[in-house]
Amino acid sequence: MKNTKKRKIALKKDNMITREELFKRKEIFHAEQAKLPFEEKIHALVRLQEIASRVKGNAGNKTVWKI
Protein backbone atom coordinates (compact mmCIF):
# COMPACT_ATOMS: atom_id res chain seq x y z
CA MET A 1 0.00 0.00 0.00
CA LYS A 2 1.39 3.40 -0.96
CA ASN A 3 2.12 5.90 1.82
CA THR A 4 -0.31 8.69 0.98
CA LYS A 5 0.61 10.73 4.07
CA LYS A 6 3.65 12.24 2.39
CA ARG A 7 1.89 12.89 -0.91
CA LYS A 8 2.02 16.59 -1.67
CA ILE A 9 -0.94 18.81 -2.42
CA ALA A 10 -0.57 22.11 -4.23
CA LEU A 11 -2.73 24.72 -2.52
CA LYS A 12 -1.39 27.59 -4.61
CA LYS A 13 1.52 28.04 -6.96
CA ASP A 14 4.14 28.30 -4.19
CA ASN A 15 2.28 26.52 -1.45
CA MET A 16 2.78 22.78 -1.37
CA ILE A 17 1.88 20.72 1.65
CA THR A 18 1.59 17.04 2.45
CA ARG A 19 -1.71 15.37 3.35
CA GLU A 20 -0.30 14.94 6.86
CA GLU A 21 0.32 18.70 7.14
CA LEU A 22 -3.11 19.45 5.70
CA PHE A 23 -4.85 17.42 8.43
CA LYS A 24 -2.58 18.88 11.11
CA ARG A 25 -3.57 22.38 9.94
CA LYS A 26 -7.20 21.33 10.01
CA GLU A 27 -6.86 20.29 13.66
CA ILE A 28 -5.19 23.59 14.55
CA PHE A 29 -8.04 25.44 12.81
CA HIS A 30 -10.66 23.54 14.87
CA ALA A 31 -8.74 24.21 18.10
CA GLU A 32 -8.53 27.94 17.24
CA GLN A 33 -12.25 28.08 16.47
CA ALA A 34 -12.96 26.48 19.84
CA LYS A 35 -11.06 29.33 21.53
CA LEU A 36 -13.16 32.11 19.95
CA PRO A 37 -15.05 34.35 22.41
CA PHE A 38 -18.57 33.10 23.20
CA GLU A 39 -20.09 36.20 21.56
CA GLU A 40 -18.30 35.46 18.28
CA LYS A 41 -19.44 31.83 18.41
CA ILE A 42 -23.06 32.92 18.82
CA HIS A 43 -22.72 35.20 15.78
CA ALA A 44 -21.19 32.29 13.84
CA LEU A 45 -24.11 30.11 14.96
CA VAL A 46 -26.63 32.65 13.64
CA ARG A 47 -24.77 32.71 10.30
CA LEU A 48 -24.99 28.89 10.20
CA GLN A 49 -28.72 29.06 10.96
CA GLU A 50 -29.16 31.58 8.11
CA ILE A 51 -27.35 29.25 5.69
CA ALA A 52 -29.35 26.24 6.90
CA SER A 53 -32.65 28.08 6.50
CA ARG A 54 -31.74 28.88 2.89
CA VAL A 55 -30.41 25.49 1.79
CA LYS A 56 -32.98 23.27 3.49
CA GLY A 57 -35.96 24.78 1.71
CA ASN A 58 -39.43 24.91 3.20
CA ALA A 59 -39.27 21.47 4.82
CA GLY A 60 -36.20 22.31 6.92
CA ASN A 61 -35.84 24.15 10.20
CA LYS A 62 -36.24 27.85 9.41
CA THR A 63 -35.20 29.01 12.87
CA VAL A 64 -32.75 31.90 12.80
CA TRP A 65 -32.08 33.61 16.12
CA LYS A 66 -32.92 37.28 16.02
CA ILE A 67 -30.20 38.52 18.34
Partner 1 sequence: MKEILQALNELKNNKIIDDYAIGGGIAALFYIEPFLTFDLDVFIIPTEKTKCGNLIILSPVYEYLEKKGCSWKGEHIIVGGVPVQFIPADGLEREAVGNAKEIKYEGIKSKVLTPEYLITVLLRAGRKKDLEKIEILLKLTDIDRNKLGDVLRRYRLSEKFRRLL
- Residue choice 8, 16, 28, 65 for contact with partner 1 (CB under 8 A): 65
Provide the mask over 25-64, with x wherever binding to partner 1 is found by CB under 8 A and - wherever it is not: -----xx-xx-x-xx-xx-xx--xx--x--------x-x-
CB burial of 35-62 (b: ≥16 within 10 Å; e: otherwise) equals eeeeeeeeeeeeeeeeeeeeeeeeeeee
Which residue lies nearer to partner 1 by CB, 16 or 40? Answer: 40
The Cα 7–Cα 28 span in angstroms is 20
List 10's β-bridge partners, or say none: 16
The residues binding partner 1 (CB under 8 A) are 30-31, 33-34, 36, 38-39, 41-42, 44-45, 48-49, 52, 61, 63, 65-67
